[in-house]
Amino acid sequence: MLAVQNTSRQFLSTPLVCHLSRRWKFKKKHFQTSKKLGPEVRALQFFDRYYSPIFGKQWPSIRIALLSRPKYCALVNNLSRSRDDIIADLSSLGAYDINRPKKKAPKKKKVKKDGYEKDNEIESHEEAALNEQTSEISERRNDMDSSLSEDNTHSDTEERDDVDIHSDSEDEDIYSGRVGQVINMHDFIPPAKVYTQDELTLQTQQEQSLPVEDGEEVIQIIPRRDLKIPPELRVHIFPKRNVSTFKKPVGAGYYLMDAASLLPVFALSLTSNCRVLDLCSGPGGKALAMMQTMNIEQLTCVDISLSRLRRVRSVMDRYLGGVGHIIDYHHMNGIRWVAANPDVIYDRVLVDVPCTTDRHVLSPDEEDSIFKPARTKERLQLPKLQQELLKSGMQCCKPGGAVVYSTCTLSPGQNDQVVYAAIMDLHHNSEMQFVIEDLSCLVDAFRNVYYFDNHCKYGQLVLPHLAANFGPMYIAKIRRLN
């Protein structure tokens, strides 16, 4: 009994030791507890930072349109046996052919409301359509905005809104105290300023977001020409402010695509018996539209992505069937393909280059977004790749032929800057001469279909807008002289 009591006393006097798991011994670091941003939020953060100063008051409207449901057109298949019935069905839905616009009805008297003039007839319809679109995207936009606001206190790079990377005001004279002294070539001279990787990335992004300025050499822009759109091209869309959608095609009667993607095809001005090169062909909508003009003698489709090239071939086989013998497919880098075929020239060349795809990167369903951290270097090198692709397309264009350069981004560094750099490079390093062909005829012909930006120097830019949610799409036309 005494032994039991002594044992109990000894046990109670022994201090209790609490063994904790190793994972709870230390406080988690900031990067372990902070919420990770998806690539779509990073993309929106990038756009807010660099596009807002460029587009000013237009940016909120563009931003909402990019986050909302895009608008599509119906490209009618001329080889379909029921083509006329399909056109009648599309017209009965309220869609019209943009190649055969309806005559404008006389304008009705306008009334002022909240300081703006609006037509009595469309006022209520416009408000209902915009309210429907706004309510549809408000939840998604709020989620992305909340993610951005949470990240403002965590992102070290994004806090530097007022940093001027090109400013040397903070750099002191590192040679002070050495005046009058002879500096040995083996002496260590510290750098004036050391940049981090984030600062170098920020500097590159700022340079790519600047509009093109007038340099010492000016590219000639030839006067506008009449726009010639083949009448065989039948494209139906719903009017502005009409948010109706087309049914998914069951057969091969029509093809749904962004109507802004047709502008590069319009700009090519395809005539009979044209030999055309589609340098970055995937996913195939523009190639199909070119074939629907019935003016193609030979079409060459080149793409570095095998899956995208297979998609092009699948679209062509489905909609064109027996005319596939005039289409060539090449799975190769466009730059290498042109270099490997220096003697092959074309009447028209379409260079629809890879870009940041401003609309698609804002979708959370985008799997391989260019705004993933692992693809930052690739994104910064896009303008260089675009310039090389455009130069390759210009080199295989015959004298008197035309090259159309297009992107689906709002970035000046991927649009006007690339066009200027490619023309200047070939001007200095070859005997080829090129001029820019004015595309204001596109604006005049389709100002009732699209919303155009008026700040581009060498091309035209379609801006997304809730009333006509197409694009973005940049188009520039280059003509070879010799």
* Each residue's pLDDT tens digit, 51-103: 999 999 999 999 999 999 999 999 999 999 999 999 999 999 999 999 876 65
* pLDDT attached to residue 162: 41
Residue 263 has pLDDT above 90, yes or no: yes
d(CA 239, CA 71): 11
Q: Was 239 annotated as part of a binding site? A: no
DSSP letters spanning 46-109: HHHHHTHHHHGGGHHHHHHHHHS---EEEEE-TT-TTHHHHHHHHHHTT-EETTSPPPPPPPPP
pLDDT grade for 157, boundaries at 50, 70 and 90: very low
* pLDDT attached to residue 175: 37
* pLDDT attached to residue 238: 96
* pLDDT attached to residue 83: 93
Asked whether 71 and 468 are in contact (CB, 8 A), the reply is yes
Asked whether 405 and 459 are in contact (CB, 8 A), the reply is yes
Q: Was 334 annotated as part of a binding site? A: no
pLDDT grade for 169, boundaries at 50, 70 and 90: very low
pLDDT grade for 321, boundaries at 50, 70 and 90: confident
Q: Was 400 annotated as part of a binding site? A: no
Residues 146-161, mean pLDDT to the nearest whole number = 49
Residue 161 has pLDDT above 70, yes or no: no
- Give the CA angle between residues 212, 214, 218 to the nearest 5°: 110
Q: Was 397 annotated as part of a binding site? A: no
Q: Was 301 annotated as part of a binding site? A: no
* Each residue's pLDDT tens digit, 1-35: 545 555 555 555 555 556 656 655 556 665 555 56
Domain spans of the chain, in order of start:
260-480
Enter the tokens of residue 230: 């083949």
Residue 173 has pLDDT above 50, yes or no: no
* pLDDT attached to residue 143: 59
d(CA 181, CA 120): 82
* pLDDT attached to residue 347: 97
Residue 119 has pLDDT above 80, yes or no: no
445-454: long-range contacts, CB 8 A cutoff, minimum separation 24:
445/227, 445/229, 446/98, 446/263, 448/101, 448/240, 449/98, 449/237, 449/240, 449/259, 450/259, 450/260, 450/263, 453/55
Smallest CA-to-CA distance from 363 within 144, 125, 111, 76 is with 144
d(CA 423, CA 169): 36
d(CA 67, CA 169): 40
* pLDDT attached to residue 251: 87
* pLDDT attached to residue 106: 47
d(CA 320, CA 329): 15
Q: Was 68 annotated as part of a binding site? A: no
Least confident of 94-103, 301-310, 412-421: 94-103
| Exposure string over 65-93, b if 16+ CB within 10 A, otherwise e | bbbbeebbbbbbbeebeeeeebbebbeee
Considering the four listed CATH numbers 3.60.150.10, 1.10.1500.10, 3.10.180.10, 3.40.50.150, the one that applies to the domain covering 260-480 is: 3.40.50.150
Enter the tokens of residue 443: 């604006």
Residue 337 has pLDDT above 90, yes or no: yes
Residues 296-313, mean pLDDT to the nearest whole number = 95
Residues 335-348, mean pLDDT to the nearest whole number = 95
Residue that is written with structure tokens 């390759």 in the block: 392
* pLDDT attached to residue 482: 87
Least confident of 36-50, 73-87, 131-145, 353-367: 131-145
Q: Was 352 annotated as part of a binding site? A: yes
- Which amino acids are annotated catalytic? 408
* Each residue's pLDDT tens digit, 369-404: 999 999 999 999 999 999 999 999 999 999 999 999
Smallest CA-to-CA distance from 406 within 323, 469, 477, 340 is with 477
Percentage of the chain lying above the pLDDT 90 cut: 61
Asked whether 352 and 406 are in contact (CB, 8 A), the reply is yes
* pLDDT attached to residue 108: 47
- How many Cα atoms sit within 13 Å of 196 on the Cβ side? 6
* pLDDT attached to residue 356: 95
Residue 234 has pLDDT above 50, yes or no: yes
pLDDT grade for 277, boundaries at 50, 70 and 90: very high
pLDDT grade for 293, boundaries at 50, 70 and 90: very high
Asked whether 409 and 355 are in contact (CB, 8 A), the reply is yes
Residues 103-113, mean pLDDT to the nearest whole number = 47
* pLDDT attached to residue 160: 40
Give 16's DSSP letter: P
* pLDDT attached to residue 115: 39
Percentage of the chain lying above the pLDDT 70 cut: 68
DSSP letters spanning 440-473: HHHHHHHTTT--EES--SSSEEEPPBTTB----E
d(CA 148, CA 438): 40
Interhelix angle 39-50/59-67, nearest 10 degrees: 160
Farthest-apart Cα atoms in the chain, separation: 115
Q: Which H helix or E strand runs over 180?
A: none
* pLDDT attached to residue 213: 61
Amino acid at 454: N
271: β partners: none
Residues 430-453, mean pLDDT to the nearest whole number = 94
* Each residue's pLDDT tens digit, 177-229: 444 455 455 555 555 555 555 555 655 655 555 565 655 567 899 987 777 88
